[in-house]
Amino acid sequence: MVEMRQENKKNQERCFVDTIIVGAGFAGLKAAETLKEKGQKILLLEAQDRVGGRCKAGKIAGNVVDFGGQWIGAHHPLFREEAAKAGIELYPQYEEGKSLLSFKGKVKKFGLIPPFNPFALCEIALFIYLWGRDLKQIPKNQPWKAKKAEKWDSISFESWVMSHLRTKGAREFARAVVNGLFCVEASEMSYLYFLECMRQGRGMKVMMAASGGAQQDKARGGAWSVAKAMADRLGNKIRFQQPVVKIMQDESGIQVTTKAGEIYGAKKLILAIPPVLAAKLIFEPKLPSQKQGLLRRMPMGNVIKVHVAYERPFWREKGLSGEAIGLGLHFATVYDQTPKDEEIGILVGVIEGKYAVKMSQMSQEERRQIVVKDLVHYFGEQAKNPIEYVDCDWAKEEWAEGGYAGCMATGVLSLYGEALGRKEGHIHFAGTETATEWTGYFEGALQSGLRAANEILGN
């Protein structure tokens, strides 16, 4: 290999720092802050003109909302710490009143227990038990070492459903769990990876719940304001619109080339971007086949985030929480997003998996019509005339290519998984996909950034 750090190369470099961090999502921001606090000279390179990654501010009817990730769970201490540092208030997801479930074309209200027939309810209790039992067998940090890892990784979630459940209600509900949590279809996800994600999120009940669960709170002013506050503290350590295209390393360090041809040098690098984007970079020397193979086997799920504003939160008047689950509907996950003053009513939700793929090819107006039709189906005629509709198709975001996170189909975790968070020479890997707690969430991103920074600090 060429000795890169020879003088003529050095002279090309815009600057030389201790650690370059690539990607200013929560993982990169946390890594940068951690290293900076320890006195490291750092540089955070971001492809876009904003921070936050899959966390992004948007607006509807004059209100700031989150076009990307939004909820802060009861068990998300790292995010809570960041919000507190920034002085940003967290407030609970509204969930007063009944929720709605649409199944086989009929909408039913429910409180704690979804309105299925007793056979389906038994099977729902069964799968919650079975998942809880199985995920206990997944060793933390090394899911590929579970005794049944190979077996579970050879089974898609859909295969598991078909061989363990008999009722249509339980099957559809189980699939809705995967659609809703990972924005993929049940056949796209390995049962082993599903279990690992469940383990990281403390089981299905916590992951699906608002109060006490992963959707407990939201940030006043949007989750993005927390990323913004972290970025402000880093100041000029962040350089925007610097998409990295190439990462070279040798014994002496790292050299990074941006799309515009600028070159930065460092001793170490933290790559805090989604696997699907890391797969596009040129590495010299090439990454090991296992890592390369992994990066090409973690495609993003598909998700379109939707906000719909009404003159007032009319569902609250009917004793409804605004939460709706639609089995077999395009707009299958809905929550209340009404601002504090209740001046207007807002519903937020996501179009997931195959419906997101399909609706991504439509115009926004066509999507609006489908969403409003589903909202009328849930909430009645009052939902017919929103005052505004906005959506954000994450597959179209150049620096995300989907959401919420990279997912693994059958065979990936057991064969390639050990490369996930493994450093390669001077390159350390962060990003929510590499987390060992709350992968796919802000919390996982923060944890991964902290872990990567600590690797470099030798902790």
Contact, 452 vs 428, CB < 8 A? yes
**Site residues for its own copies, window 416-445 (CB under 8 A)?**
416
First vs last Cα of the chain: how many Å apart?
A: 30
Q: Is the CB of 355 or the CB of 441 nearer to its own copies?
A: 355
CA distances from 41 to 16, 239, 269 (A): 9, 14, 12
Q: Is the CB of 159 or the CB of 382 nearer to its own copies?
A: 159
**Contact range with its own copies by CB under 8 A, out of 79-87, 183-191, 328-336, 445-453:** 183-191
410 binds its own copies (CB under 8 A): yes
Quick note: the x/- pattern for its own copies over 103-142, rule CB under 8 A, is ----------------------------------------
CA angle 301, 307, 313 (to 5 degrees): 140
361 binds its own copies (CB under 8 A): yes
Contact, 172 vs 165, CB < 8 A? no
331 binds its own copies (CB under 8 A): no
346 - beta bridge partners?
309
Minimum Å distance from CB 333 to its own copies? 18
208 binds its own copies (CB under 8 A): no
409 binds its own copies (CB under 8 A): yes
Q: Is the CB of 42 or the CB of 298 nearer to its own copies?
A: 298
Q: What is the DSSP letter of 51?
A: S
Mutual angle of helices 77-85 and 224-234, in 10-degree steps: 60
Contact, 109 vs 325, CB < 8 A? no
**Site residues for its own copies, window 260-299 (CB under 8 A)?**
276, 279-280, 286, 288-290, 292-293, 296-297, 299
Quick note: the x/- pattern for its own copies over 216-255, rule CB under 8 A, is ----------------------------------------
Closest CA to 446 of 25, 125, 94: 25
197 binds its own copies (CB under 8 A): no
Quick note: the x/- pattern for its own copies over 146-175, rule CB under 8 A, is ----xx-xxxx-xx--x-------------
354 binds its own copies (CB under 8 A): yes
Residue 248 to residue 253: CA distance in whole angstroms = 8
Minimum Å distance from CB 356 to its own copies? 7
Burial code (b: 16+ CB inside 10 Å, e: under 16) for 379-403 equals beebbeebebbbbbbbbebebbbbb
Residues 6+ apart with CB under 8 A from 455: 423, 428
**Contact range with its own copies by CB under 8 A, out of 16-24, 81-89, 99-107, 349-357:** 349-357
**Site residues for its own copies, window 389-408 (CB under 8 A)?**
393, 395-396, 398, 401-402
Minimum Å distance from CB 415 to its own copies? 6
Burial code (b: 16+ CB inside 10 Å, e: under 16) for 29-46 equals bbbbbbbbeeebebbbbb
Q: Is the CB of 158 or the CB of 323 nearer to its own copies?
A: 158
Tell me the three state secondary structure of residue 215. Answer: coil
Residue 298 to residue 346: CA distance in whole angstroms = 33
- Contact residues toward its own copies (CB under 8 A) are 150-151, 153-156, 158-159, 162, 184-190, 276, 279-280, 286, 288-290, 292-293, 296-297, 299-300, 302, 354, 356-358, 360-361, 393, 395-396, 398, 401-402, 409-412, 414-416
